[in-house]
Amino acid sequence: MIHFLIVGLGNPGDKYKNTRHNIGFMVLDVLANQFGVSFKDVKKYAEATHTWDGDKIHLVKPLEFMNLSGKATQTLSNLYKIPPSQILVVQDEVDLPFGKIKNKIGGGTAGHNGLKDIVAKLGSQDFHRLRFGVGKPEKGGMEVADFVLQNFNSEERTLLPTLIGESVSKIEDWVNTNRILIQKESKT
């Protein structure tokens, strides 16, 4: 049995529920609903587990603030013995325009405090990321830290269901691709 860890980044509480910084939580909520599983609170994180063709997919929403996301990621990685190559982090990305969604393996954190903490706690950058573009504030406007804590505007909100659906499809493709790669590696 293969275990995968999918971590959605966000901040806990209603105050942050619809902010750009919480897109990871939003995507995981839709994925959990699609899988027919519910999140349960366990200490400082919420977890939902889905069995997919005999493999386990652990969906996790850290329930501490963004800059402490590494603790839940590390805890579950250790508990289920999941290496970084089988971890996918769903994150907001200010370096991509709104609506652009890209996969990435490893690399730097581009100042993202949630990613910084995950790298520090895992001791590795070699996990996968689903980067959901939220855009940047206009030059001379608000600071990036304030921008990501703002709610999506009305135009963006109308596009979110489609973009979140696209993100869910990318996650499913990631799981399937990595299952095949792991199975091939175990046969050699």
Annotated catalytic residue: which of 21, 50, 112, 128? 21
**CA pair distance 37, 39, nearest whole angstrom:** 7
Question: 156 near 121, Cβ under 8 Å?
Answer: no
Is 132 labelled a binding residue? no
**113 is known to lie in a ligand binding site:** yes
CB-based burial label for 76 (10 Å; 0-12, 13-18, 19+): buried
80 known member of a binding site: no
67 is in an annotated binding site: yes
Residue 50 bears catalytic tag: no
CB-hemisphere CA count at 13 Å for 14?
Answer: 0
Residues assigned a catalytic role: 21
Per the annotation, binding residues are 16, 65, 67, 113
Residues in the annotated binding site for tRNA: 16, 65, 67, 113
